Amino acid sequence: MTNNRLVQKKQIAVYARTLFDAAYAEQKLESVLNVRVRLQELCRALRSDSQIAQTIQDSALSDAQKMQLVASIFDSTPADTLLKDVLGVMAQRGELALCPAVQQAFEQLIVSELKLCVVSVTSAVALDDHLRELITNKVEADLCMRVVLDERVDRSLLGGIILSAQGKCIDASVKSRLEIYRDQLKRA
Are 161 and 123 spatial neighbours (Cβ–Cβ below 8 Å)?
yes
Of 78, 79, 58, 77, nearest to 69 (Cα)? 58
Digit-coded pLDDT (tens) for 94-116: 787 888 899 999 989 998 888 88
Mean pLDDT for all residues in the chain: 82
| Global confidence as pTM | 0.73
Residue 173: count other Cβ atoms within 10 Å of its Cβ. Answer: 20
Question: What does the pLDDT read at residue 57?
Answer: 66
Q: Classify the C-alpha dihedral 25-106-8-62 as positive or negative.
A: negative
| Angle of the 99-114 helix axis to the 29-48 helix axis, nearest 10 | 160
Digit-coded pLDDT (tens) for 175-187: 787 888 888 888 8
What is d(CA 50, CA 12) in angstroms, rounded to the nearest whole number? 20
pLDDT of 2 > 60? The answer is no
Residue 34, amino acid = N
Question: What does the pLDDT read at residue 1?
Answer: 38
Digit-coded pLDDT (tens) for 7-49: 889 999 999 999 999 888 877 888 888 888 888 888 887 777 6
Question: What does the pLDDT read at residue 81?
Answer: 76
Name the 3-class secondary structure at 119: strand
Digit-coded pLDDT (tens) for 106-155: 989 998 888 888 898 999 889 999 999 999 998 899 888 899 998 989 88
Percentage of the chain modeled with pLDDT above 90: 19
Domain ranges of the chain: 2-102, 115-187
Name the 3-class secondary structure at 158: coil
